[in-house]
Structures are given as C-alpha cells and as structure tokens.
C-alpha cells in the first residue's frame, strides 16, 4: 500500500470500513439463530474474567445476554510479570465458567463466531489479530489496541483489507457522563480536561498502558480533529494538551502519586459537566454484544487511531522538551512502519 497523508488515509479508511460494515454479515449466531459463540485470546487481564462472567452467568445482575464465551487460550504477555503471574488463576476462573481452554489462537478461531482479543500486552496483538481477520471473524481488541501506533495502524488496515469489522475502546468511553456530553447535554463542547491513573510499563508508550483510560474519555467528549499535542511529564505526572483544528483545547492529566481516580470536566456552550467516570464493564460489554450480533462498530476506526496518535505525539513532545508535535507527522511515520510490519508478517506466513 502506498504511503499517504494522514488526512487522505483517514478518509479512505473511514469510507472503506463503512462499506465493509454495510456489506459484512452478522456473526453466525445472529439474533435469529441464537447465541453468538465468543472466543477469548489472552487470559492475563481481569477484563477476560469479568467479561466471561457477565456473558456466561445469567443469574448475575449485570449479565449481558446474546453472547457466550465458549473457548479461550491463556496466551498473554511473555515478559510482563504483573500479567504473566495472573494467567494460571484467570485460566481456572474462566474454565469454571464452562469455557473450553485450548492451546493456541488457531484453536480459538476454529471454535467461535467472534473474538475478544484480551491479551494485556499490546505488542502481540497484531500477530494475534491476523488469523482472526483471515477467518472473517468480528473482533473486539481490548486496550491498548497495540504496543505501538504503527501496529495499531496495521491492525485497522488489515481489517479493512480483509473486510472484517473490528473495534477497540476503554470502558471509560461508555461512561454515562461522557456519553451524555457527547450527545449534546451541554451544547457544543468548547473544551475538556480529564484525568486518570497513569502507571507506566517500560515495554509500551507512556500513555498506552493506563493513561489510555483518561485519554479515551477526552476523545469521547472532544471527538476527532486534534492537530497538535504538547506533552509534559515528571516522575509523578504526565500531561498532554491537544489543539483541535477548530481552536478548542483538550487536556489529559495522568496521575501516579496521591489520589488518582477517573474524572474530568467538559465545557460547553450551555454549561459544564463532569465526565470521565468509570461506570463498570457492562456498558462496554453491551456495545460489544451488539457489535458481535451484527451492528456497526460503535467507535470510528479513524477516531481510535487519532486517539493513539495523540498519545504517541504527547510522548514525542515530552522527549523534545515540550515542543508541539503534529498528529499528521506521527501518523505518517506510523503508516510507513505499518506497511513494513505487514509486509514482514506476510512474508513470514508464506
């Protein structure tokens, strides 16, 4: 694929994915046919156990009907100790929910209609996602969508080329307050400040690991259109301030000391409102089930990629002492690297 500008690429992917979603059939377990069979890749995050419990346990007050987890493979991070040590326990929990445990991704894909890619480590996501896309299975990719912006671009490009809808989101995107503001509760949004915990993981870009939550709330409220980012950081804090093309400013504060929590304030033409709260996993899971049963992805691929470009630009700006970094520039570099990654993986698979 030829290298293109961020704007041109964005328009192209949005148009292509829209066509693919319109044409793509629902998962084989559509509403008329019964429950969608779901497979999980990666059992090194509590999201895997929480999602399986809410999908498989009808007696749970937070139960979401319509899908059932039937198969999972434990593969997750190989070298992030906080993730690796969870795998045995989480495997036992998921097995106890009636889920078949298999050895690899191929076995998961063979036995299900749709996939939850739950590996806590974003670095293997591209390689884990490709067999799912080749099989034509819809997929939700948990945060971070990948271990780099280039891999995130590669995943969405491969999905578009395969004609398979995918989406990724933090549960924070579907918080009640954030969704209300996005829906117009305070009129036109003029700006927003969000905050969340922001622990770091040396193998990932600074904000991808945990800052993604507050950044996702920011983009939920502000929408796409960020053009440049200024990033600052200290031992205890990361701050990323974006300038949107219409002159609005949105800011994320990542906290590593003292009271963190999830929250923020949105500013609008009709007043302000609290945003960014975590309302549990059920709202996200409701959207996943709708998607697996044939609905369009609830988050535009271009918005997700701009969100990750925002976080990558914030890191690049911090590396440069706070100099502004353009979203288009980090996207151009990521697009070129995505092409190389896909070519290398394609060659390896042949």
Determine the pLDDT at residue 23. 39
Structure confidence at residue 4 (pLDDT): 38
The full DSSP string for 48-97 is HHHHHHHHH-TTSTT--TTEEEEEEE----SS-HHHHTTHHHHHHHHHTT
Neighbours of 347 (CB within 10 A): 8
pLDDT at 190: 98
Q: What is the pLDDT of residue 349?
A: 58
Cβ atoms of 148 and 205 within 8 Å: the answer is: yes
Residues of the chain with pLDDT under 50: 1-25, 28-32, 350
pLDDT at 260: 87
- What is the predicted pLDDT for the residue at 31? 40
Model-wide pTM > 0.85: yes
d(CA 11, CA 330): 17
Q: Which residue has the tokens 């498989």?
A: 56
At residue 61, the pLDDT reads 96
pLDDT of residue 141: 98
What angle do the packed helices 301-319 and 212-222 form, to 10 degrees?
120
Q: Quick one: which H or E segment has residue 22?
A: helix 6-23
Q: Any bridge partners for residue 272, and if so which?
A: 267
Domains, the chain: 25-171+282-300+338-349 (3.40.50.720), 172-274 (3.30.360.10)
| pLDDT at res. 348 | 62
């Amino acid at each position: 694929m030829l290298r293109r500008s961020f704007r041109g690429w964005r328009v192209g992917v949005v148009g292509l994915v829209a066509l693919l979603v319109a044409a793509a059939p629902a998962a084989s377990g559509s509403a008329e046919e019964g429950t969608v069979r779901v497979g999980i890749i990666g059992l090194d995050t509590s999201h895997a156990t929480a999602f399986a419990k809410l999908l498989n346990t009808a007696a749970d007050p937070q139960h979401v009907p319509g899908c059932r987890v039937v198969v999972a493979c434990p593969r997750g991070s190989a070298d992030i100790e906080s993730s690796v040590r969870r795998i045995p326990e989480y495997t036992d929990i998921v097995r106890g929910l009636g889920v078949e445990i298999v050895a690899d991704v191929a076995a998961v894909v063979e036995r299900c209609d749709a996939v939850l890619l739950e590996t806590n480590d974003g670095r293997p996501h591209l390689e884990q996602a490709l067999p799912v896309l080749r099989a034509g299975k819809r997929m939700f990719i948990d945060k971070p969508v990948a271990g780099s912006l280039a891999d995130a671009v590669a995943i969405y490009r491969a999905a578009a080329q395969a004609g398979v809808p995918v989406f990724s989101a933090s549960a924070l995107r579907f918080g009640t307050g954030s969704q209300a503001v996005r829906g117009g509760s305070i009129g036109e949004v003029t700006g927003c400040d969000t905050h969340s915990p922001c622990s770091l993981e040396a193998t990932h870009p600074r904000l991808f690991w945990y800052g993604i939550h507050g950044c996702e709330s920011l983009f939920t409220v502000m929408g796409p259109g960020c053009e440049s980012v200024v990033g600052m950081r200290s031992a205890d804090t990361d701050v990323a301030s974006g300038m949107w093309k219409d002159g609005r400013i949105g800011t994320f504060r990542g906290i590593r000391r003292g009271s963190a929590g999830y929250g923020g304030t949105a500013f609008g033409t009709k007043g302000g409102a609290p945003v960014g709260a975590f309302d549990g996993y059920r709202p996200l899971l409701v959207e996943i089930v709708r998607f697996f049963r044939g609905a369009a992805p609830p988050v535009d691929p271009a918005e997700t990629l701009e969100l990750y470009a925002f976080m990558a630009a914030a890191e690049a700006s911090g590396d440069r002492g706070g100099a502004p970094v353009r979203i288009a520039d980090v996207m151009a570099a990521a697009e070129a690297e995505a092409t190389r990654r896909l070519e290398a993986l394609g060659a390896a698979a042949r």
